[in-house]
Amino acid sequence: MTKPSRILVFFVALFLLLSWLIGGSAAVLAWGSRGEQVRLVQQKLKEYGYLSSSVDGIFGQETYNAVLWFQRKNGLTVDGRVGSATAAALGISLTGGTLSAGLYQESELTLLARLVNGEARGEPYIGQVAVAAVVLNRVRHAAFPNTISSVIFQTGAFDAVWDGQFDLEPTASCVRAARDAMNGWDPTGGCIYYYNPATATNAWIRTRQVQLSIGKHAFAI
């Protein structure tokens, strides 16, 4: 892993550590809670694919169900309440408000934009969004790690991380594509793999069921 990548991961990890350390004084959100902190929780649940309803700042049945699902998948205490441990796993601090959540989200956005830039900066815009969507689909898939950073840095997952392309400054288009994917746009319809049929040397990847092609990439499940 190259030095810029390590720096980004360090700051994400540092934020999560600080969230745990200060968690003792944090509020606990539960069914019936309302307000901006509930909106932060809902937004993260929606980004990670656990919540399909609107972000309205009201902790009701659908938010409760989404929290239970998130807790089960991530090895947390399954109680439907968002305390310091669940908040830290979501990447927010209930004592830190919007700023803490924003810093974490921007760190993940930067990682995703760098990946898109390294893998697809020469592709049409929809193809850039599609590459970002594959990363997010892996986050939601049981066979892959459950954070953006751990999916990106999974050994051998993406050539751009290991050949230096990841360290290039992402273009504005790639940043926008990463943000659009994080906001829910998935042109692939749930694909978890992609490859360039003209250059791929891995025989296994060619056994995956291709759903569509965008630009030079085939997207598969």
Alpha helices in the chain (DSSP H): 3-21, 36-47, 61-73, 84-90, 97-120, 125-140, 148-152, 159-162, 172-182
pLDDT at 11: 56
pLDDT at 101: 41
CA atoms of 39 and 82, how far apart (whole Å): 12
What does pTM read for this prediction? 0.56
pLDDT at 20: 44
pLDDT at 9: 54
Q: Using alpha carbons, select from 171, 74, 75 the residue that is nearest to residue 128.
A: 171
pLDDT at 79: 92
CA atoms of 96 and 45, how far apart (whole Å): 18
91-103 pLDDT per residue, tens: 777 764 433 444 4
pLDDT at 107: 76
Q: Using alpha carbons, select from 193, 203, 147 the residue that is nearest to residue 213.
A: 193
Domains assigned to the chain: 23-94 (1.10.101.10), 123-220 (1.10.10.2520)
pLDDT at 87: 84
Instruction: Please identify every stretch of the chain with a pLDDT value under 50, giving residue numbers as ranges.
Output: 1-4, 19-26, 96-104
pLDDT at 169: 92
pLDDT at 10: 59
